[in-house]
Each structure stands twice: as C-alpha cells, then as structure tokens.
Amino acid sequence: MLKIENLHVRVGGTEILKGLSLELGAGEVHAIMGPNGSGKSTLSYVLAGRDGYEVTEGRVLYDGVDLLALAPEERAAKGVFLAFQYPVEIPGVSNVYFLKAAVNAVRKARGEKELDAIEFMRFAREKAKLVALDAELLKRAVNSGFSGGEKKRNEVFQMAALEPRLAILDETDSGLDIDALRIVSDGVNALRGPDRAMLVITHYQRLLDYIVPDRVHVLVDGRIVRSGDKTLAGELEARGYAELGG
C-alpha cells in the first residue's frame, strides 16, 4: 500500500531524512522507534504533505500513486490520516462542526453522500464511544482547553470518523498515563483491519505492549538502521539506541 524509496528530506537547509526506505502492506501495523531528532516527526509530516519539507531524492508511492505530488487535503481525501504529535487548537470552531466539515469534504471527494447534521451527530456519538470521549468535548472548540490526554483521544476519534486506509500515528502515546494509554490503544486496535495499514511512531517502547506491531523499525539519524519483529522493541529497551545505531 505504502512504498517509501530512498527518501531524502531537507528542512531549512539541513538534511533530516537520509535515504529512508520502507514498505507497508494492507492490514499491516509497523512501528517506528528512534531517539530525539532522528527524523520521526519529519517522516510523518512529509507523508501528510506539510510545507517546508524539501524532498531532494527518492519517492513515496501510495497505492501506486505519487503521494508527494498531492496537496494535503487530497491525501486526506484518498485516505491518508495523520494523528498529530501536537494536535492543533482551533479557537471558536466547535469540534463536531470541524469534524463534520472534514468528514463531508472527504466523503464528497470519494463520491459518497454527505451527512446532514442529524446523521452526523448519530455517527459522531458512535465513534466517540470508541475512545470514551466525553460528549461535552464534541461541543467545545477543536482541542481548545483540552488536556494532553483528551487531545490524543480526539485524534483517534477523528481517525475513527474519517476511516482512513493509511493511518500514521505520530507519538499518540506521548504524555498519556497508563489508563489513558489503554483507552487509546484499545481504540486503535479496534480500527485495525485487513484493508487498513498503520504506521505507529513512538518514543516510548511501552506503547508496543498495547499496540502490537507486525514489524518494528529503528530510525537513527534519518535512516532505518534495523528492522525486526516485535521483540526488537524489548531489545531496544534493554540496550538503547546507541548500540543498535552502529
């Protein structure tokens, strides 16, 4: 589904990704781990289409299509979803209104019928249950005044509503306590399916006890230095990145 080939990316003149390659098939969940500054967030932003990330070499194919040529909203419409490491606050725009606009924009692009207000509320309440999101938060402005944990749950809630084919979770576990981590992981696991691929980026090995990946990749200094099955995460915990980076 997703094929990244020899990807080189510069940010503000500095090369961050230095030839990253990765292949992710439908139904698979891959984890990417790495120390601070290894390029994890750069990878997620490049895949979602943020400006300011200059691809100098390599390519990214999504269902055979050149993903990098698409605008962010086109990628979203084609089923690419990024759960942000730092979800953005949008004052004044209610969470449910925002999501309705997003869901309908995506549905429209897919040639599906747009949901009216009543249909959407029913749909949203259903999805909110998945991550035990308080119904009050649906009415509040997008991420405004949400706690860190609520923001992360809101991301997974949006993911459930937008039903992506490729989900990139950028440090969705950061800042969560053990109870919140369980809720978020259960939500993510419920969304696993044969047609959906997930790329789970994390700083903390603990997440992979809850979302068990098919493959684990270790990202150090802009390159994947090792790949393996889930036992690799445990090895990392014990030995640290430095040893594996060599």
CA-closest candidate to residue 149, choices 122, 178, 126: 178
194 binds another protein (CB under 8 A): no
97 binds another protein (CB under 8 A): yes
- Does 55 engage in binding with another protein (CB under 8 A)? no
**Among 93, 191, 212, 244, interactor with another protein by CB under 8 A:** 93
E strand intervals along the chain:
2-11, 14-24, 29-33, 53-62, 65-66, 80-83, 90-94, 141-142, 166-170, 197-202, 215-220, 223-228
- Sign of the CA dihedral with 53 first, then 57, 62, and 66 last: positive
Helix (H, G, I), strand (E, B) or coil at 197: strand
Query: Residues 39, 87, 187, 213: which binds another protein (CB under 8 A)?
Result: 87
Q: Does 35 bind another protein (CB under 8 A)?
A: no
Q: Does the footprint of another protein cover residue 70 (CB under 8 A)?
A: no
Which of the ranges 60-68, 77-85, 121-129, 214-222 carries the binding residues for another protein, by CB under 8 A? 77-85
Please name the amino acid found at residue 127. K
**Pair type for strands 14-24 and 166-170:** unpaired
**Residue number, 7 or 176, with CB nearest to another protein:** 176
Taking CB under 8 A as the rule, does residue 91 contact another protein?
Answer: yes
- Residue 163 in contact with residue 102, Cβ under 8 Å? no
Helix (H, G, I), strand (E, B) or coil at 180: helix
Nearer to another protein, 65 or 90 (CB): 90
3-state SS assignment for residue 227: strand
Q: Which two tokens stand for residue 172?
A: 């969705």
Of residues 65, 69, 90, 135, which one binds another protein by CB under 8 A?
90
Instruction: Work out whether 38 is an interface residue with another protein (CB under 8 A).
Output: no
Q: Is 72 in the site for another protein (CB under 8 A)?
A: yes
| One residue of 13, 14, 64, 92 binding another protein per CB under 8 A | 92
- Please list every residue from 5 through 34 that binds another protein, using CB under 8 A: none
Residue 158 binds another protein, judged by CB under 8 A = yes
Find out whether 111 and 94 touch, Cβ atoms under 8 Å. no
Using CB under 8 A, which residues numbered 165 to 184 contact another protein?
174-178
Q: How far apart are CA 230 and CA 205, in angstroms?
A: 10
Residues at the site binding another protein, with contacts judged by CB under 8 A? 36, 48-52, 71-73, 75-77, 81-82, 84-94, 97-99, 101-103, 105-106, 109, 141, 144-145, 147-148, 158, 162, 174-178, 203-204, 206
